[in-house]
Structure 1
Amino acid sequence: MRAALLSMDTMLQGSLAILFSSVLWGTTGTVASFAPQVSPLAVGAFAMGVAGLLLGVMYRNAIKSDWYVLKNSPLLLAVGAVSLAIYPLAFYSSMRMAGVAVGTVISIASAPFFAVLIEQIFGRKQTLSTRWLISAVAGTAGIIMLTLAETAHSKGAAENDQLILGVILGLVAGLTYTLYAWVAKQFINQGVESKSAMGAIFLLGACILLPSLYFTGNNLFSTMENTLVVTYMALVPMFLGYVAFGFGLKFVNASKATLLTLFEPVVAAVLAIVVVGELISPIGWLGMALISVCLLLQASEKGETAQ
C-alpha cells in the first residue's frame, strides 16, 4: 500500500511539473509577437539553443556519468538532437504564419497522435481502442475546421498559402516534439537519468541551432524590446520549462507527457485572444471544441500506450 501511494505521489509530482512547463510554453507565441522584426527561425534557434547550452552545462556531471550508455545508441541520440533542432524552427514559423492560437493548437494537439504512431511502430504494439479512434477522428476534424476558419478570414490566395504552410509546419513541430520526447524516454528506460537524457539531447541540438543565427539573427538585439523577448524566451519557457519537463518525464511516459502538454494550447489561445487580439470565428471555436473532445477522450483512455 505504501509503495502504491508513493508511486501515485511521484506520478502526481511528474504530472504537475509537466503542467507547469506547459503554462510557461503557452506564453511563447504571445511574447514572440512583440518582436515581429525578428525572424521566427532566429527566435526558435536562439531560445532553444541558449536553453540547450544552459541545460548541457547544468547537467554536465550527469551526462558524463551516463555517457557510456548514451554513446552506445548514436543513431537514437542523433534522432533526438535533430528533432529538437527542427522543432522550434517549425513551431515558431507555424505561429508566425498561421497565428499564435492556430499554430500552437495544431502543433501540440497533433503530438499525441504522433506519439501513439511512434510507439506502435517502435514500441510495444497494442490494438487501438474504439475510444482512441473516435478521438482521432474528432481531433482531425477539429484541425481541419480550425484551418478552414482561418482560411475564410484570409484576404487572398497568398495568405491562404501561408496559412496552409503554417499548418503543415505545425504538424512537423508536433512530430519532432514527440520524437525527441520519445528518444529521451528510451534513454531513461535504459537506466539513464532524465537529466542526462534531456541534457545530452539539448546540448547536441544547441550545437545545430546556434550556428544558424549567423544567417537569421540580424535583429535579435536591435531594440530593447527584441532583447527582452528573446532573453525571456530562452531563460523562462525554454530553460526553466524544460527543467520541469525533464523532471516530469522521469515519472511519466512519452504518450502521457504529450497529453499533459495539451494544456499549452489552452494557455496560448487565451493569451492570443486577450493580449494579441486574434479573432476566432464560430467554425474555428467548433474546431477547438472538437479538439478538446479528442483530448478528453484520450485522457480518459484506460491504460497507457507505452511503458
Structure 2
Amino acid sequence: MLPVLAVLAAALLFGTTGTSQALGPEGTTPLSVGAVRLVIGGTGLALIAFTLARRHARRRMDAAPRPRLTWRPLSLMVLTGLCLAVYQPLFFLGTDRNGVAIGTVVALGSAPVLAGLLEWALTRRAPSGVWVAATAAATLGVVLLGFGGAAGTSTGTDPIGLLGSVGAGASFAVIANAQRRLLDAGWDPFTVVGAMGVSSAVISACALPFVDLAWLQTSAGVVLALWLGLGTISVAYVLFTWGLSGLTAATAATLTLGEPLTASILGITVLGERLSVLAIVGLVILALGLALLAWGSRSPRDPAPFAVEG
C-alpha cells in the first residue's frame, strides 16, 4: 500500500503546477518556466536521489551486487531525462492550442493507456482486470472533467494541439516503462531517478539562453521557480520512482490521474473556478477509479518477466 500512497502523493504535487503558475508573476512563458523548473528540479532531484542511493547501498552491503553500467541501462537513463525535458513543451503546445481543460485531459488521459499498452508490448503480459476497469473509469472521469470544463464555457480542438498532448502522454508512458525496466534489472530506484534528473537538467539548461527570464528578478518569480522545481520535480519524482518499484508501470501511470483531480480541486478552492455538472460527475468517477486501483494494488507486484542486461 505504501507504493500506492507514494505515487498518489507525487500526483498531488504534480497537480499544484497549474495553480502555482496562475498565482505566479506576470511575464512568464511556458517555455521559460518549463526550462527553469527542470534545471532547478532536475539538479535537486539528482542531489536528493544520489544521496539516498548511497545510503541505500551502504545498508545493502550483503545484497546482490550492483548491475554494471553498460550502454543499455545508460541509454535508458538518458531516455528518461530526455522524455521529461520534452514532456513540457508538448504539454503546453496542447494547452495553448486547445485550452487547459482539453490539453490536460488528452495528455493525462492518454498516459496510462499508452503506458499499459507499451508495457504489454514489452513484457507480453496483459494488464490485469483491475487495471483495465480502474483505468477505464479514471480515464472516463478525466474526459468528463475536461469536456465538462468550467460552467458556461466551451473549447474547440486543434489537430496539432491534440498531437502535442498525445506526445506528452507518450513521453510519460516511456518514462514509466524505462524506469520499470531499470528497476527490474536491479538498479536502485534512487539511482534511476537521479540519472533522470541529471539528464533533464542538462538538456533544459541548453534552452535558458533563448528564453526571457526577467520574471525571475521578482520575489514571486523566485518562489514560483523553487516550488515548481523542488516541490513538483525533485520531491515528486523521488516519491513516484520509489512507488514505481512496487507497482507496474501501467498502475503507476493510472494513479497519476490524481493530478487532474488535485488540479481541479485547487482551481475551485483557490482560483475560484466553477465546474459544470458534467465535470463534477467526472471528478467523482475519477476518484472512484483511483480508489479501485489503490484497492487492487494492495498485493505485491508480480515478478517481472524480463530483465535489462546489466
The alignment's TM-score, normalised by the length of structure 1, stands at 0.77
Paired residue type of 2:119: E
Contact in 1 for aligned 2:255/2:290 (Cα 8 Å):
no
* 1:24-82 deviations in Å (ceiling 9; x for gaps): 22211100112352111222222123211222234447599968335333443343222
1:31-50 to structure 2, matched below 5 A, reads 31-35=20-24, 36-50=26-40
For structure 2, list consecutive stretches of 5 or more residues without a partner in the other structure.
58-64, 305-310
Are 2:8 and 1:14 aligned?
no
Task: Give the structure with the higher percent helix.
Answer: 1
What value does the CA root-mean-square deviation take over the aligned residues? 3.6
For structure 1, list consecutive stretches of 5 or more residues without a partner in the other structure.
1-11
Which secondary structure does the structure 2 equivalent of 1:278 belong to? Answer: coil
How far apart are 1:173 and its partner, in Å?
2.3
How far apart are 1:126 and its partner, in Å?
2.0
Are 2:189 and 1:194 aligned?
yes
* 1:169-200 deviations in Å (ceiling 9; x for gaps): 33332221121122111111101101111111
Tell me which residue corresponds to 2:60: none
* 1:232-252 deviations in Å (ceiling 9; x for gaps): 111112112222223222323
Paired residue type of 1:208: I
Contact in 1 for aligned 2:101/2:146 (Cα 8 Å):
no
Paired residue type of 2:19: T
Tell me which residue corresponds to 1:30: 19
CA distance in 2, matches of 1:22, 1:172: 19
Are 2:91 and 1:107 aligned?
no
Contact in 2 for aligned 1:87/1:172 (Cα 8 Å):
yes
Q: In 2 relative to 1, CA 273–90 (structure 1 residues): closer, same or farther, beyond 3 Å? A: farther
Contact in 1 for aligned 2:150/2:274 (Cα 8 Å):
no
The alignment's TM-score, normalised by the length of structure 2, stands at 0.76
Are 2:44 and 1:54 aligned?
yes
- The range that moved more, 37-46 or 210-219, is 210-219
Q: In 2 relative to 1, CA 249–37 (structure 1 residues): closer, same or farther, beyond 3 Å? A: same
CA distance in 2, matches of 1:243, 1:253: 16
* 1:190-227 deviations in Å (ceiling 9; x for gaps): 01101111111221122111211222243341432222
Aligned residues between the structures: 291
Which secondary structure does the structure 1 equivalent of 2:68 belong to? Answer: helix
Paired residue type of 1:236: G
Contact in 2 for aligned 1:40/1:93 (Cα 8 Å):
no
CA distance in 1, matches of 2:3, 2:141: 29
CA distance in 2, matches of 1:89, 1:306: 35
Task: Return the match for 1:253 from 228, 248, 251.
Answer: 248
Contact in 2 for aligned 1:100/1:269 (Cα 8 Å):
no
Tell me which residue corresponds to 1:6: none
- The range that moved more, 113-122 or 259-268, is 259-268
How far apart are 1:257 and its partner, in Å?
1.7
Are 2:91 and 1:85 aligned?
no
1:157-306 to structure 2, matched below 5 A, reads 160-161=156-157, 168-292=163-287, 295=290
